[in-house]
């Protein structure tokens, strides 16, 4: 009855391949689930306690659109230590001073950035493979996400991006560590990419939702304010980066509170002010008591959890790399695994064979114009991970 009323933008977007797998998981009795990007550790107790206290003391109303002042202060202090950025609260700094605000998850920050930057007919450049929402956010704006082929190493390099930049390009979107591959862009390549964007007059958006989930061999950079603090390489850490870089980070993946929907964005004041204005009329503000909870996160080390995930990463590489091509994840908790040509299967067909054995993985076509790979998440306990790797080893070997 109402199909003719549906807007074109809605019809142009397919349901996420990840969601399809989640829906299927609900129909299976006890599947081995290597599909979901959900940390399997509990939210640290100080964060939970602070959120509960905020609820119990009636901090349940709206915050300022820019965010809870206590959390914003922590974010701004951290950006100074980590990146050397002298940020202000959006709307309160000098015209050329970078600013920051709290968002409803990193997806919320990305949505606001796309809305603020893209007119119908504009273009942006995203990596292929990409996080599932990237191309669809451009579609919602009437714009086009131009994909940059990063196979087989999944590095979004300046050399690969440069031929794709046109007079319609507004920004280049980098995700490091990457979802779905876990690959980390090197400091040198990050510098080249930001320099390219600056020379072409386009913005670099650095989506760093997994910036705290980086494994030992990728920690080659140091915080600007504390050279002893090893960090994930970031193009936002370069001198002058705040002039043409939008930084997006979050709390959900690092602290296991993905359902709390909390992130932050920092960058040029002219852009952040527009994003904050758009937040007024969309998300309004991030959840108030949960903002109070993650104030505590800046004093909590997640190194034990990251070390455990690095060990699980090593299990995946040791078991599967002798059977097929696997780009080594330098962070996050994913591996993007090639289906051997000898099997004659697409990523989707391989995922269907996994389902027959009650194993859930995500077909590579959910993240890419190609359907030659599949993604696993090793954010699950070792016993279940080993069971899943047993099944994958057999299937990859053609058994």
Q: Mean pLDDT throughout 135-145?
A: 96
User: Is the pLDDT reported for residue 357 higher than 70?
Assistant: yes
How far does CA 207 lie from the centroid of its chain? 6
- Residue 265 bridge partners (DSSP): 101, 248
pLDDT at res. 14: 76
C-beta neighbour count of 83 within 10 angstroms = 23
Q: Give CA separation, 352 vs 335, 345, 380, in Å.
A: 18, 10, 21
Q: Kindly state the percentage of the chain with pLDDT values over 90.
A: 87
- Give mean pLDDT, residues 186-206: 97
**Minimum mean pLDDT range among 86-90, 230-234, 272-276, 337-341:** 86-90
As a whole number, mean pLDDT of residues 204-222 equals 95
The radius of gyration computed from the CA coordinates of the chain, to the nearest angstrom, equals 21
Residue 130 has pLDDT above 90, yes or no: yes
- The reply to whether CATH 3.40.50.720 applies to domain 3-43+302-396 is no
DSSP 65: T
pLDDT-based confidence at residue 102 (cuts at 50, 70, 90)? very high
Rounded to an integer, the average pLDDT of 41-65 is 97
Cα separations (Å) of 87 from 98, 191, 222, 277? Answer: 5, 21, 19, 18
- Quote the Cα angle for 283-79-193, to 5°: 90
**Is pLDDT larger for residue 30 or for residue 166?**
166
φ/ψ of residue 265, rounded to 5: -130, 145
> Could you please report the per-residue DSSP string of 202-238?
-EEEEE-TTTT-B-GGG--EEETTEEEEEE---GGGS
The total number of residues shown for the chain amounts to 399
| Ranges of each domain in the chain | 3-43+302-396, 63-299
Which two tokens mark 162? 């440069």
Would you say the C-alpha torsion 334, 339, 340, 341 has a positive or negative sign? Answer: negative
**How is residue 262 written in tokens?**
């909390």
pLDDT band at 122 (very low <50, low <70, confident <90, very high): very high
Residue 353 is predicted with a pLDDT of: 94
d(CA 88, CA 327): 39
> Domain 63-299: which CATH class?
alpha beta
At residue 23 the predicted structure's pLDDT band, cuts being 50, 70 and 90, is confident
Tally of CB atoms within 10 A around 283: 18
Facing residues of 338 across strands? Answer: 373
pLDDT at 17 over 70: no
pLDDT digits (tens, 9 = 90+) for 266-309: 999 999 999 999 999 999 999 999 999 999 999 999 999 999 99
pLDDT at 370 over 80: yes
| Mean pLDDT, the chain, whole residue set | 94
Read off the pLDDT of each residue in 373-391 and give the average, rounded to a whole number: 97
- One fold for both 3-43+302-396 and 63-299? no
pLDDT digits (tens, 9 = 90+) for 222-242: 999 999 899 999 999 988 899
- What whole-number distance in Å separates Cα of residue 291 and Cα of residue 103? 10
């Amino acid at each position: 009855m109402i199909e003719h009323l549906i807007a074109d933008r809605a019809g142009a977007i397919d349901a996420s391949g990840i969601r399809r797998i989640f829906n299927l998981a609900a129909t299976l009795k006890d599947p081995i689930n290597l599909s979901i990007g959900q940390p399997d550790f509990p939210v640290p107790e100080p964060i939970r306690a602070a959120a509960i206290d905020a609820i119990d003391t009636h901090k349940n109303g709206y915050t300022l659109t820019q965010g809870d002042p206590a959390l914003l202060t922590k974010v701004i202090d951290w950006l100074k230590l980590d990146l050397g950025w002298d940020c202000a609260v959006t709307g309160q700094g000098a015209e050329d001073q970078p600013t920051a605000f709290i968002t409803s998850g990193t997806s919320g920050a990305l949505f606001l950035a796309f809305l603020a930057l893209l007119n119908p007919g504009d273009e942006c450049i995203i990596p292929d493979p990409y996080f599932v929402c990237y191309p669809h956010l451009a579609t919602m704006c009437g714009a086009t996400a131009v994909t940059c082929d990063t196979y087989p190493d999944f590095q979004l390099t300046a050399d690969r991006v440069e031929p794709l930049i046109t007079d319609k390009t507004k920004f280049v979107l980098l995700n490091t560590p990457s979802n779905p591959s876990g690959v980390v862009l090197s400091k040198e390549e990050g510098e080249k990419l930001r320099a390219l964007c600056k020379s072409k007059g386009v913005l670099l958006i650095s989506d760093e939702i997994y910036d705290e989930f980086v494994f030992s061999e990728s920690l080659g950079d140091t915080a600007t304010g504390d050279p002893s603090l090893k960090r994930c390489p970031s193009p936002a850490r370069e001198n002058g980066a705040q002039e043409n870089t939008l930084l997006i980070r979050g709390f959900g993946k690092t602290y296991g509170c993905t359902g709390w929907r909390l992130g932050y964005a920092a960058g040029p004041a002219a852009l952040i002010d527009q994003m904050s204005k758009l937040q007024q009329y969309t998300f309004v503000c991030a959840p108030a008591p949960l903002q109070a909870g993650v104030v505590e996160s800046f004093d909590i080390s997640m190194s034990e959890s990251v070390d455990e995930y690095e060990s699980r990463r090593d299990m995946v590489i040791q078991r599967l790399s002798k059977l097929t091509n696997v780009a080594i994840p330098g962070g996050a908790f994913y591996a993007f695994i090639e289906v051997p040509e000898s099997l004659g299967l697409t990523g989707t067909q391989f995922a269907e064979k996994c389902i027959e054995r009650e194993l859930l993985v995500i077909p590579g076509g959910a993240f890419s114009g190609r359907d030659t790979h599949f993604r696993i998440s090793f954010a699950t306990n070792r016993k279940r991970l080993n069971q899943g790797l047993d099944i994958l080893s057999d299937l990859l070997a053609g058994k």
